[in-house]
Amino acid sequence: MQNSKLFIGNLDFTVVAEDLKALFADAGTVTDAAVISDKMTGRSRGFGFITMSTEEEAKAAIEKFNQFDLKGRKINVNLARPMEPRQ
């Protein structure tokens, strides 16, 4: 698992990857940004992922943006966990 990949939760449904990339650029270099969408409807599922260039930048982003108000919602920012295997 990369220690520079962050889970971003409680996103407003209008937030897109470019919004996250622009916001998190204040904490360092963003190498990847994604907002996860429902495969059937295309609507945002309210969470996404950001990858920072270093672990230090990822930690700085957590400190700076966890509980940050983005489009009227306080976002949750944590280190991403590996996906659990499906049963």
pLDDT tens-digit readout, 33-62: 999 999 999 999 999 999 999 999 999 999
The pLDDT value given to residue 2: 63
Q: Is the pLDDT of residue 84 over 80?
A: no
Residue 57 near residue 65 (C-beta atoms within 8 A):
no
Domain membership flag for residue 36 = yes
Query: What mean pLDDT do residues 68-74 have?
Result: 97
Domain membership flag for residue 84 = no
Domain membership flag for residue 30 = yes
List the domain range (segments joined by +) for residue 29. 5-78
Q: What percent of the chain has pLDDT over 90?
A: 89
Give, in order, the Cα–Cα distances in Å from 39 to each of 12, 25, 71: 18, 28, 24
Cα angle for residues 46, 82, 30 (degrees, 5° grid): 60
Residue length of the chain: 87
- Average pLDDT of the residues of the chain: 94
Read off the CATH number of the domain in which 62 is found. 3.30.70.330
